[in-house]
Structures are given as C-alpha cells and as structure tokens.
Structure 1
Amino acid sequence: MGGSDKPRRSFDLDEPVEFDEAITLTGYGRFHYESLVVCAICVLTVGFQNGITSYIFPAAQCELNLESSQLGFLNVAFLVGGMCSSFFWGILADGSGRRKVLIASLLLNSMSTIVLSVSNHVMCLTICRFLNGFLVGAPGTVIFSYLGELQPPKLRSGIICGAAVFFTSSWLLLPILAWLILPLNINLTIGSWFIISPWRLYMIFLAIPEALVGVWFIRLPESPKYLLAKGRNQEALDILKKMFASNERKDPDDFPVKLLYSDVAVQSNGYGQKESEKKFSRLLGEMWFQIKNLFKTPLLFVTFLTCTIMFTNMFGVFGLGLWLPELFIRFQEYADIYPNETVSLEKLTLLTIVKNQTCDSTFDLSVIQNTVAMGITSLITSVFSGYISTKVSIKVIPFVCMLSGGITSLSIYWLKSATQNLIVACIFQAAMIVGNMSLSGVVVELFPTNVGAMAMCLAMFMGRMGAMTSNVVFGLLMDNHCEIPIFAVAVNVLFGAMLCLIIPTSQSKTSKSTNSYREGRTVEISLVSLPYNDKTKNTNVI
C-alpha cells in the first residue's frame, strides 16, 4: 500500500522545513508498516523477558534442585540488571544512535538467553538473568524513542500507546506456549553438560525472535530526528527521502523538502570534541551532562513528575500484577477446603497452602485460563486505547488507567470469590499495562530528542525501583498480612493517578516564543530543546 494522494504543499528551494512537517510529507506506507512490525516484535520480546520466570523456574527448580531463596535471587538479579543499565543505554542511545543500541542489545540478549538455557549452575543462571535484565533495558526503553521519532506528530502518541498491544500479547502467549512446550516428554543429554529438557527448549524458542529482530534492524535506518538533533541534517534529509520513496513509490528526488530546519540544539558540552579522547571518558562526560540537564530547569519538573508516576505504576503492575496468580490459587484453595464459607482477603492470611514439591512442569488448567483471560482483556484494552489516544490529551489515558488500577486494587480487600477476583484482576492488569505504555509515550512527547532516550531510561529506572520495592513488600507480608501490600499498591497507584492530572499536554506548555529567522515569523520553540543552557537555538540548514 502506498501513501495518500493528497496534494503536497510546494516549497521554495531556499526555505527550510521543520522536522515534524517534513516527516508528515513522507506519507504513511510501506516504510512505516515495516518499521512498525519490527518494533512490535521488539516490544514482544521485552514482554517475554519480563514474564518468562513464572514459567521456567518451577521446572528448573526440580531439575537443578534449587531452593526457593535461590529462585527469588534470580528474580532480583533480573531487576538489578535492568536498573544498572538504565542510564547506560540512555546515554549510549543519545550519543551513538538508537539503531546501533537496539541491534547490539537484542543480539547479545538472545545469546545470553541461549546460554541460560544450557546452564547447570546457579551462579551461571544468576549471571545470565542479570545480563538479560541489563540488555533488555535497551529495547525496553530505546525502542519507544526510535518508534516515536519515525512517526508524524499526529500519530506519535497513538502509535506508542498501541505498542502496549504487543507487550500484553507477550503475556498472553507465554502461558499458552508454556502449556504446549513444558509438558513435552523430552530429556536428552549431549555430552556431559548439554541437556535438552522442556524448560530449556522453551527458553531457546523465546530467544529466536530476539535474534531475528536484531538482524532485521540492520536494514532499517537510524532515526532521522536523532540525526537532525546531532546536526547531521543532510543524513536526516536523505532518510526522509528514502521514507518518501518507499511510502509513495516515487523517486526520492521528488520529495518536496530540500532543506531541513532544526530547533534542537546540537550538543556541544565540551565532551567528545577531540577525537583523541577515550570513548569511555567521552561516554561518562555525555552521561553526566545529560543527567545534570534533566535535573535543571526547565526539565526539572517534568523529570520528577514522570519518574514519580512511573514508580507508582510499576509498583502496581510488577508488584500486585505478578502476585495475582498466587491470589487465584489461594482463593481456589480456600473454596475447596471451606466450600460453605465465603472467602475474604482476611481469611486468606490464615490459610496455609501446601506446595507440591514433585517435579511436575505442567500447569493447572484453571490458572492457565485465568492468565489467558487477563491477557485477552489487556489486549482488547490496548487496542482501544491506541485508537482513542490520537483523539484525547496525552494525560487522559494515563490518568484513567491509573485511577482504574487504584480503585480495582483497593477493591480486592472486599472480594468474596475467585470469580470476583478474576474480574478485578483482568481490569487491574489491563489498566496498569496500558498505563505503563502510555506513560512511555508521555516521556517521548515531553522531552527533547537529544535527551529523550536518557529521560526514558531514567523513568524506567525509577519504575524498576518501584517494582523491586513492591516485590519486597509482598514477599515479606503476603503470608501473614496480605491486606497491607494490597493497600500499599492502591495508595501508590491512586497517588500516581492524581499526578497524571498535572502532566503538561505538550512541550509548548513550557516553551516561550523564539524568533525564527525564516521570513521573520515567530514560532514556539520549547526551552527543553536547549538542554545545555544555550539560549541560541541551532539554525543549521543544509
């Protein structure tokens, strides 16, 4: 399918055009469809890595004789890896480019997952899960910057929000694949160390999409908006021409834009200017300047706001969200033991569940059905939110989702049956996942390109802090005082919902008028486009 046949605006060859207007003129067709498919698979693999432990570790525990404390440590290793890499990927993506980071991290993460699948020692498993968390932090954050920067402004937030469809699809596919693969009767030993068992085959199967999408990114270009922010105007223009040619099935020279105008300052912080400087020192210098400017006006307020909301969101979605299957089991167990009594959250604290210690890698059908129901609900909600996101303010969807998540998590205290628990769990999971994806869109929208990836990684760092904090609270209190972590989630998520009300609707809310040299007109240039306190905007044109 090609782009639209709408009449194009004609330009004077000497007139530079702003990026958002130029990328809109590339149309929307084959190039965008291909990039959407690649980014969708990338988001899918991120979801796989975040949810895979719930399915592989029970089987691995039997085969490798792991203790529960060791399994918990493996989960922590993944989260710590993600936290450690947050700033690293941000500065690397803003310094070296989004595409290079995505290619390297996806291929390395696929290799790490395959190594994990053949490992027989706890230390090796722990290192691999740490590397998984470290490496998945790149596609988990940078992909939204890359995806958003390829979209025309009217579709940008909607496309990013729509990425939640594929993240939630991963949580729907994981239990289905586990149900199909883990019960297989496979147990082969090759040599003295290579073992093929169902859970290892499951890991290898999930590593394949990462490798494929990493290779696929090689044929895609760098983000033209990123190149423009770096002052590489001609390279950005060449990519826009190729996008136009692919979308419209026309010659690249027919692209109506001949000059590009950038209102984003080229980074000139003194680092990276001498080719003789070591790359590591240059990396640290870039990292320091970007982080420092995220915590200075005019970005300070937006930085604290987005980080706090992301903390509250992931406190819920990766806290209570990961413990919902446990609640399913407890509700069902209580109903089986006391069929004539109504169950409540308070009564569940008195229930001792005896764990089956046999090596059975299959899953209870009811748990699979509940998990699939949650995944389907999240998928439908993601599709709907992606549609309406282009019609409402960028803060509407995060506010509605966080408010819904807070109310449903609070209502768990008064639930009386497993069916009620399933309904509430479906609403909570769908709302929180869509809220998480929409918050990523907010970050892309509010921060300038040259610090956008770092801002995304900082927000995800705080989100992972919330996830770790929530899991510690649940782990300590779930058995004896399970109402406390439930209320903690409700309070945090509702607080995040209130903060969503003060999200700026766009960068222009914090901008001031700056004269454009083009025809003496006045245009709105956001001060966040000047992260190094250089009040003279870059007017480089090619």
Structure 2
Amino acid sequence: MPGSLENRPKVWDYETVLEKIGYGKTQWILLLVSGLLTITTVAAQQAMGIIVIASQCDFHTTQAEKGVMMATRTAGLVLSTIVWGYISDDVGRRKVLIYGTFASNALQFSLMFVSDLWLFNIINFFAGISVGSVPAALYPYLGEFNIPRHRAVTINYSTMFVTVSAIIVPAAAWLILSYDWAITLGDFVFRPWRLMLLINLLPGLIGGLVLLYYPESPKFLLSQDKTQEAIEVVTWISKFNKGKSIQQVMEYEEFTLKSEDPDGERLLANSQGIVTKIVQANMPLFHKPHRLNFILCNLAVFGLFFASCGVQVWLPDIVNKLSGDVNNSSTVCKILSLPLGAPQNVTQEDCTVHISSKTYIDNLIVGFAFLLAFSIQGFLLNPLGRKNVLFAALAGAVLSGIFLHFIGNPTGVLVVFCLYILLPGLCISIMIGAIVDLVPTHLRSKAVSFCMSMGRLGVIASTNLIGVMLTPYCNTTFAIFTSTLIVCIVIVRYLPIKNSA
C-alpha cells in the first residue's frame, strides 16, 4: 500500500508549473500577437475618421451619413462583446479569437469592393460583431499564459498597442492617400482609401495566423476537466521556452495538474439560452451593495468615451476643415459653420477630395501625445492618488472645452483639442481599474465587459451627435461635451475610489 502511494503522480498547481518553466518565447510572442490583434480592433475604427473624408465622393455622403459610417462598427462591438465573453468561457478563448479574427478580416476585405453606402454600413456592422470577440477573449487568454506576478504588467503592455495604433493609422493614411490614382473596373472605381481597409486588417491577419500555432489556454482546459490536454499544452510551453521536456523541468517522470474551479455553467448547452443566462449573471451588479457604485461607474465611463473617443474619431474631418482657414485667426466654430459634407448635386467626376497634410500631422501628434501621457500617468498614480489624478485630468479637459470656444491661433487650437481628447481618454483606464476594486472577484469580468459596452454606446452617441449638430450648432455641440465632463467630475466625487491601486 505505501508503495502504491509513492507511485502516484505528483499533483502540481498550474501556475507553480508555469513559474518553474519561466517567462520565455511563449509569452513574448503571445504579447506581440495580442498587440497585433489590438491594433486591428482599434485601427479600423480610428481609420474611419479619415475614410469618411476620402470616400465622400464615392458615396456622396452628408455629414449625418458620415456619423453613421463611423458608428456602425462600434454598434457591432457593443452588441457582441458581452456575449463573446460568455461564449469564450464555454468553447474556449483560442477558438473565439481565431474564428472572430478571421471572420472580421474577411468582412473588412469585402468592404474594399462595396460601392453602396448602406451595404458598406451593414457589412461594417457585422465586422464589428466579429471583432468584438477579440477584447472579450484576448485578455483572459493572454493572462492565463502568465503567472500572477507578470499578468498585470503583460496586459498593460498589450493595451499600450492602442496608442501605437493611434500613430500607425494617420501615418499609413498619409502614405497611401497622398497619391491620387484610380483603377476603373466598369462602374466600380478602386481608390486609395479602399487600400487603407486592407492595410488595417493586416496586423490582425498576421496575429491570427501566428495564433493558429498556439494551443488553448491550459487554465481553461483545467476548468473544463480536460487535465490530460492541459498537461500536453504545458509540455508544449516547456519545449518552446526551454527546449526541455516538462519532466526535465519539473524533475518528475510522472505528474498531473490540479483541477481548477469551473468557469461557470456551459451556456451553449443550457436550455435557457445565452441571453437569459447573461442577464441572470449580471443581475447581482444591480443589487445592493454594488448597485449605486456600479451605475455611477457606468455613467462615468459612458461620459468619458462620449467626450473623448467620439471627438477623436471626428478629429481628422474637423482638422481637415480647419486647415482651410486662410486667415489662421478664426475660432473653431467660425470655420466649422461652413458645410462640411460633400456637394450633393455633382457627378463623381466633378467631386474632389482634398486632405491636408496638417490633418495627418495633427493626428500623429495626438497619437504620440497619448503614448507619452500614458507613460507619465503610470508614474503619477501612486504618489498623487487615482482620485486626485481623475479630478485633475477632468478639470483640465473642462477648461480645454471652454477655451475651444475662444482660441483662434492654430497652434493653440491643436493644443486645446489634444487636451480635450487626451485627458478624458486617460481617465478611462483609471475608471476601469476602479470598477475592478468596487466589485467582488467573481463579478469583475462581467462588470468590466458591461462598462466597456456602455462606453462604446457613448462613442455611437457622440459620433452621430457630431454628424448632425456640429455644422449648424457648433458651440452647442462642444458645450454638451464639456457639460458631460462636468457631470463626470461630480460622479467621481461620490465614488469611493481608492487613491492607491
């Protein structure tokens, strides 16, 4: 009997095994893959601000129709992200990432050849639904290949690729749209802006192809009682990182992995359906003691996305219009009082599109400013406190919004616009961190997914509001955004946000 006990394989915790293997090629390449997938997810939306200008002669869009073009992909993201998160807990993170990435790439590729505006919007909407799988499954997948000590830092570096995208998009657009060429195939004309759609999907395509060589998350497999498959994945990680078998690393011929607690009910197999289960799973967030704080957090995140991301999407169109100010002394709203849409009673041959180099330069400046600001913010959060940083950033954004009505100097306008977009954008990551602190562990993923969906609703609202109101009611439009930021300050005042993480 004692002999049989000695022959039993030793049971190890997965994260202990992962720590013994060490950080290596598996994690570094997966971090790069996550960055590529993040770039594709964000770039398609950011590039739409430039594409709506470049495509206005092909689609003969009005200002309101431009707003709809910008909002369709975000609408797909809003409707799908929460559902994708639950599906990834059911069928696996890797499957959701691969199918979602390749489906969104295929849909975006088809957009290159669409000549009807509403068909373009419909396909873009479904592309948004597909790409919603990336934020839902990527962070759990990435995190589960890292030990807890490395997890937060790795995910932080992955999110930094959002700012990289803000630099790549205007740079690529400047390179591609600087050339005036057209390929005519019957009634269809292929112009440079269509090539941008291809460039934007390439990072995701590359990331998806690399991901084909990666296995499913061992932690997910353990939560599904697939211990042997999890051991095979750990063996793969060991050989890839160290070139050694897992037995050599662990110094045990036979071992097994400790089972994980189940990730939750298998939603796809439940007769109630996914939607019903999602509603039931989220209901605790709207009951005491979490209800008030969670609702306030959602309102704040909605307002921050509304004020920052919505204006950022429209920035190329606004800057392109401002570049036509020959006097270099008019305020923003005096310049924008002129119609921004393409002429409606001209033929395609008569219509011309001019995108000033200033449009690309100013957007590049905003991208670099985000990258620098995120780096600085990391050093300020602990000494100053998260709540104090939120107050300072929001107050600066409100002041920028007020100055926007009066400044006429081009450099001053750029600085103010940059702060108006940048400061609320920096607050988003702090608010998401606060949400994690304000709800218990088993509700955190649900809370973050729900709040991010509310934020994207804010982007849809602001892009359409600007499309309809900016030209006839410019000062009122910016006053609405500034008032929203003031409401966010009041909300932050009453939230019990800890000053240290």
10, 27, 37: which is aligned to 2:22? 27
State the match for 1:538 in structure 2.
none
Q: Which amino acid aligns with 1:425?
A: F
- Does 1:352 find its partner at 2:338? yes
In the alignment, the residues of structure 2 paired with residue 450 and residue 99 of structure 1 have an alpha-carbon distance, to the nearest angstrom, of 22
In the alignment, the residues of structure 2 paired with residue 221 and residue 440 of structure 1 have an alpha-carbon distance, to the nearest angstrom, of 29
Matches within 5 A, 1:140-539: 140-190=135-185, 192=186, 195-232=189-226, 235-236=229-230, 238-240=232-234, 242-253=236-247, 254-255=249-250, 264=261, 266-268=263-265, 282-296=273-287, 300=291, 303-325=294-316, 327-328=318-319, 333=324, 336-337=326-327, 343-344=330-331, 351-352=337-338, 357=343, 359-385=351-377, 402=394, 404-437=396-429, 439=431, 454-496=446-488, 499=492, 502-503=496-497
Q: Secondary structure at the match of 1:120?
A: coil
Deviation at 1:31, TM superposition (A): 1.1
The verdict on how the C-alpha distance between 1:320 and 1:122 changes in structure 2, with shifts beyond 3 A counting, is: closer
- Does 1:92 find its partner at 2:87? yes
* 8 A contact 1:168–1:433 mirrored in 2: no
In the alignment, the residues of structure 2 paired with residue 293 and residue 264 of structure 1 have an alpha-carbon distance, to the nearest angstrom, of 20
* 8 A contact 1:142–1:453 mirrored in 2: no
The verdict on how the C-alpha distance between 1:196 and 1:135 changes in structure 2, with shifts beyond 3 A counting, is: same
Q: Secondary structure at the match of 2:471?
A: coil
* 8 A contact 2:71–2:464 mirrored in 1: no
Q: Which amino acid aligns with 2:417?
A: A
In the alignment, the residues of structure 1 paired with residue 273 and residue 341 of structure 2 have an alpha-carbon distance, to the nearest angstrom, of 53
* 8 A contact 2:90–2:268 mirrored in 1: no
Q: Deviation string for 1:283-306 (max 9, x for gaps)?
A: 345434433344456765664354
Q: Secondary structure at the match of 2:115?
A: coil
Deviation at 1:413, TM superposition (A): 3.8
* 8 A contact 2:45–2:70 mirrored in 1: no
In the alignment, the residues of structure 2 paired with residue 442 and residue 496 of structure 1 have an alpha-carbon distance, to the nearest angstrom, of 14
- Does 1:82 find its partner at 2:54? no
* 8 A contact 2:45–2:74 mirrored in 1: no
The range that moved more, 282-291 or 56-65, is 282-291
Q: Deviation string for 1:108-163 (max 9, x for gaps)?
A: 11111111111122332121111122222222443233333433333433333333
Aligned Cα root-mean-square deviation (Å) = 4.0
State the match for 1:525 in structure 2.
none
Give the TM-score, by structure 2 length. 0.80
Q: Which amino acid aligns with 2:94?
A: R
In the alignment, the residues of structure 2 paired with residue 232 and residue 411 of structure 1 have an alpha-carbon distance, to the nearest angstrom, of 60
The verdict on how the C-alpha distance between 1:445 and 1:210 changes in structure 2, with shifts beyond 3 A counting, is: farther
State the match for 2:133 in structure 1.
138
The verdict on how the C-alpha distance between 1:364 and 1:235 changes in structure 2, with shifts beyond 3 A counting, is: same
Structure 2, unmatched stretches of 5+, are: 1-7, 344-349
State the match for 1:523 in structure 2.
none
In the alignment, the residues of structure 2 paired with residue 41 and residue 435 of structure 1 have an alpha-carbon distance, to the nearest angstrom, of 24
* 8 A contact 1:90–1:455 mirrored in 2: no
Instruction: Identify the structure with the greater helix proportion.
Output: 2
- Does 1:105 find its partner at 2:91? no
Deviation at 1:32, TM superposition (A): 0.9
Deviation at 1:67, TM superposition (A): 4.2
* 8 A contact 1:161–1:441 mirrored in 2: no
The verdict on how the C-alpha distance between 1:403 and 1:20 changes in structure 2, with shifts beyond 3 A counting, is: farther
Q: Secondary structure at the match of 1:492?
A: helix
* 8 A contact 1:91–1:290 mirrored in 2: no
In the alignment, the residues of structure 2 paired with residue 330 and residue 71 of structure 1 have an alpha-carbon distance, to the nearest angstrom, of 14
Deviation at 1:352, TM superposition (A): 3.0
- How many residues get paired? 483
Q: Deviation string for 1:165-198 (max 9, x for gaps)?
A: 32122222222222222243433244x5764322
In the alignment, the residues of structure 1 paired with residue 215 and residue 380 of structure 2 have an alpha-carbon distance, to the nearest angstrom, of 29
Q: Secondary structure at the match of 2:161?
A: helix
Deviation at 1:210, TM superposition (A): 2.4
* 8 A contact 2:304–2:488 mirrored in 1: yes
In the alignment, the residues of structure 2 paired with residue 411 and residue 112 of structure 1 have an alpha-carbon distance, to the nearest angstrom, of 42
The verdict on how the C-alpha distance between 1:114 and 1:263 changes in structure 2, with shifts beyond 3 A counting, is: closer
The range that moved more, 441-450 or 303-312, is 441-450
* 8 A contact 1:145–1:452 mirrored in 2: no
